[in-house]
Structure 1
């Protein structure tokens, strides 16, 4: 056994601690970044489905009276909001007589990035659905 000429104790522990923190940050970026991508995809899908749900609110009274096919804007907004509420998302809906537009925002909690103060990541999506009419339909 050779005697130490200088005191090396504790140097490996400091290196290990710094390495672990670095690995946790990289894992956080990978896992929480993946969650961010999935949240963005989900926000887009929810926006598209909510817009489709709203675009199904055809004004039946106008059809029965022989008028042009159009949406009932109030019913379209209600249908889109109902879809948003059912899916647990928040967003804004605008509707006219031919289109329904939806913007959705979702928040996802973080796992590892909360260690550095980032507790949640937000994602958004938007979509517009247009009333499809057959050719020759008024």
Structure 2
């Protein structure tokens, strides 16, 4: 009787530990992907204006295309790019799905979406 009560409880605790760690890794992965996509998008500047000595500004269309191209190489990752009105900052937000391993057996969790975001600032020297 004692085993019948404690065995499921131990499995639930083990599931919380394993799946909790997996969710933290999924969140970190989302943040890392957002950072890399933001770095890629941040390199898409208005080249014509920059080469003539003008202000270095992010080209919103090129930045969005660059980030989407980066995200397109990854399975199950979607994202969006927002360029600030000053054309010096941009933010990339990504979403990906995460599936629990052990807690799904108990029906506690299903597939969950995690998201990450990164902001970059254009630095001209």
Q: TM-score range by the shorter chain?
A: 0.7 to 0.9
**Aligned-partner Cα distance in 2 for 1:23–1:68:** 61
State the match for 1:72 in structure 2: 59
Query: Does 2:107 match 1:119?
Result: no
TM-score by length of 2: 0.86
Shift of 1:86: 1.7
Shift of 1:28: 0.6
Residue of structure 1 aligned with 2:47, choices 36, 60, 80: 60
State the match for 1:22 in structure 2: 9
Q: Provide structure 2 residue ranges, at least 5 long, that are not aligned to the other structure.
A: none
Q: Provide structure 1 residue ranges, at least 5 long, that are not aligned to the other structure.
A: 1-11
Structure 1, 118-127 or 69-78: larger mean CA deviation: 118-127
Q: Which runs of 4+ in 1 moved over 3 A?
A: none
2:44 alignment partner, SS class? coil
State the match for 1:131 in structure 2: 122
TM-score by length of 1: 0.79
Residue of structure 2 aligned with 1:100, choices 82, 85, 90: 90
Shift of 1:65: 4.0
| Number of aligned positions between the proteins | 121
Query: Does 2:36 match 1:49?
Result: yes
Task: Indicate the structure (1 or 2) with the bigger Cα radius of gyration.
Answer: 1
